[in-house]
Amino acid sequence: MNHTITSRERHRCASRRIPGWLSGTLVMGAFAALIVAEARRPLRRKTEPKLGRDLRNLAVAALSAATLRTLETPVVEPLSRLVERRRFGLLQWLRPPRWLELPLAVALMDYTLYVWHVLTHRVPFLWRLHVVHHADLDLSATTALRFHFAEMAVSVPYRAAQVALLGVGPRALSVWQTLLFTSILFHHSNLRLPVRLERRLVPFIVTPRMHGIHHSIVEEETNSNWSSGLTVWDRLHGTLRLDVPQRRVTIGVPAWREPVEVTLSRILAMPFRRQPPGFVLPDGRRPRRGRLPALERVFPRA
Ligand SMILES: [Zn+2]
């Protein structure tokens, strides 16, 4: 009996990350499939030529990836091994049944990322960094990777706190990272899914039409749909909005409406420059939404 417990305990302590080739294949496969699919069935009309915009987003993404490798990976991965070994954090104390451990860890990481996303909009210092992601004049799979390297850098202590306080081990951390990547690529994509399919998916996961509303220039619409994986968090907090037709959404932030204002050098410098007043167009007007069609509340077509 004792022996069984000991080996089980040892097993629990030795959770491994899912292999890099597996998560890499899943994420890159999803990315490639979405690039092809969004070219065939675009959801929104483009403002900028796609190739230049994609290359710019990928350049921003390369700097972020280097920042994550240098600052996040060396902190967060050893930390996840440590919390598991030392039994630190909520999940390590709760000791849920094994089958529940992984889904619970992924859900809690997803919820605390919702909280972080709200903070990046509400705290002026963080919005200055997150705005680079929102200043994209179009929304597509490459927008999912366009985060300023400074935003990635300041998120490291938060990510470390998530892992330590929730008690997330290496396996759960790597599963969450893989699911998160796939999810953000999917819901930023400019992919027109059949609206009926999206209406069926949105009670559970974030979809392209739902996240499109979060990237609107209208303030009340940006301040909604903060979830990154499961939509339950927006439901719980009353921040879910599905009533805006995608055709009426203008993507971006009101201050920068012209492609010359969002070139690579400008967006990299954006957090360090004087910030324009929030959610006001260059002519001083505030973007507002007129009356919305009352009949369909979930992804109206009009
Ligand atoms: Zn956002």
Distance CA 163, CA 79 (A): 7
Percentage of residues of the chain with pLDDT beyond 90? 85
CA–centroid distance, 225 to ligand 1, in Å, is 9
Query: How remote is the CA of residue 208 from the centroid of ligand 1, in Å?
Result: 14
The predicted model gives 231-258 an average pLDDT of 95
**pLDDT computed for residue 15 by the predictor:** 82
Distance of CA 94 from the midpoint of ligand 1 (Å): 32
Q: Is the pLDDT of residue 4 over 60?
A: no
The token pair that represents 272 in the structure block: 């360090």
| H helix intervals, the chain | 2-13, 20-40, 50-67, 73-86, 90-94, 98-122, 124-134, 149-166, 170-188, 195-201, 208-214, 219-222, 232-237, 264-269
Banded pLDDT at 294 (limits 50, 70, 90): low
For residues 169-188, give the mean pLDDT: 97
When pLDDT is cut at 50, 70 and 90, the band that residue 292 belongs to is: confident
pLDDT at 111 over 60: yes
pLDDT digits (tens, 9 = 90+) for 22-51: 999 999 999 999 999 999 999 999 999 999
Residue 168 Cα to ligand 1 middle (Å): 25
How many Å lie between the centroid of ligand 1 and the Cα of residue 179? 18
Record the pTM: 0.92
Average pLDDT over residues 249-275: 95
Averaged pLDDT of the chain = 93
Q: How far is the CA of 85 from the centre of ligand 1 (A)?
A: 35
A 10 A CB-CB count for 68 gives 18
Structure tokens at 158: 């938060």
Q: How confident is the model at residue 295 (pLDDT cuts 50, 70, 90)?
A: low
What digits encode the pLDDT tens for the residues 119-171?
Answer: 999 999 999 999 999 999 999 999 999 999 999 999 999 999 999 999 999 99
Q: What is the pLDDT of residue 3?
A: 46
- Taking the centre of ligand 1 as the mean of its atom positions, its distance from the CA of residue 130, in whole angstroms, is 7
21 C-alpha to ligand 1 centroid (Å): 29
Q: What is the pLDDT of residues 5-29, one digit of tens each?
A: 444 454 455 588 999 999 999 999 9
- Compute, in angstroms, the gap from residue 17 CA to the centroid of ligand 1: 28
Tokens describing residue 101:
């451990």
Q: Which letter does DSSP use for residue 42 in this model?
A: B
Query: Residue 17 in contact with residue 174, Cβ under 8 Å?
Result: yes
Mean pLDDT of 210-232: 97
Query: pLDDT confidence of 217, banded at 50, 70, 90?
Result: very high
More confident residue, 300 or 272: 272
**163 Cα: distance to centroid of ligand 1 (angstroms):** 22
- Distance between CA atoms of 138 and 208, rounded to whole angstroms? 13
Specify the pLDDT at position 13: 54
pLDDT digits (tens, 9 = 90+) for 81-94: 999 999 999 999 99
Q: How far apart are CA 225 and CA 176, in angstroms?
A: 20
What per-residue confidence (pLDDT) applies to 12?
52
